Amino acid sequence: MAHNDGKDAPVKVTLETINQMQADGVIGKYAIGGAVGATLYLEPAATLDVDIFVTLPAAPDSLLLSLEPIYDYLKARGGTVKDEHIVIGGWPVQFLPPSNDLEREAVTESVATDVEGVTTWVMSAEHLVAIALRTGRSKDHIRILQFIEQKAVDRDELQSILERHGLSSKWLQFESKYLAGTHE
Amino acid sequence: MSKQEMRKRLASLSFSEKIQILEKLRDRSLAFAATGPRKKTTAGGRKKADKGSKE
């Protein structure tokens, strides 16, 4: 892993390292979520970390999934642990195993994209919105509104995801609270 | 250029270009954080100065 003092902080280095970790079989499929994922579809918004949703190969003798192999792999290559993040290439990364069907689907159906020649995967706009709705913090609601205002989501596809994952009533609440009268 | 147009323009950039902007925004956030909150001595100093001028 390229060592970086944080001044350059290229996400490219971070992604190359994660891709190598995937090629080495430490992780399975992954997808960028959160604010960095949303940046694929929206204007960039300040964020301090990268959320990576990652599928993990289960240890043969355990039903539990552990992030330890990821941490061990990255620490051996210069990564440093900082709270719930591990700093790779100057960027704190939080690895999140999908905790429900929606997040698993978001990883499976993620979109391949490119950062300075490095291939990576980002959750679809519709999955990002559905996850933000489920998470439900103020900043998540703001992000959903950005997606809607910028017409960055396929509304039919979003409805389909919301129905599939039992989020339709939550969406109706969100619509009546934030979108009533906006014709969005 | 209106704010809305600027947002559309930024949204239409490539992911690589947006990531570069993210990195600059992050650097700026970290720089602000390193500077720390504004010291209150300025306001206190002004009060003292105001008080002094009345005397």
3-state SS of A76-97 is: CCCCEEECCEEEECCEEEEEEC
pTM for this predicted structure: 0.85
In the numeric block, the tokens 């290229």 are attached to A10
User: Residue A138 pairs with which residues in a beta bridge?
Assistant: none
> Is A5 an 8 Å CB contact of chain B?
no
Q: For A122-176, write each residue's pLDDT tens digit.
A: 999 999 999 999 999 999 999 999 999 999 999 999 999 999 999 999 999 999 9
Q: For A4-59, write each residue's pLDDT tens digit.
A: 444 444 788 999 999 999 999 999 999 999 999 999 999 999 898 999 999 988 76
> In chain B, whose CA is at the least distance from the CA of A50?
B22
What residues have CB less than 8 Å from A66, skipping those under 6 apart? A56, A59
Backbone angles phi, psi at B52, to 5 degrees: -60, -40
CB contacts < 8 A, A to B, total 55
Domains for chain A: give ranges and CATH numbers.
11-123 (3.30.460.40), 126-179 (no CATH)
Confidence (pLDDT) at B8: 87
**Contacts B26 to A, Cβ<8 Å:** 9, 46-48, 91
Q: For A83-112, write each residue's pLDDT tens digit.
A: 899 999 888 999 999 999 999 999 999 999
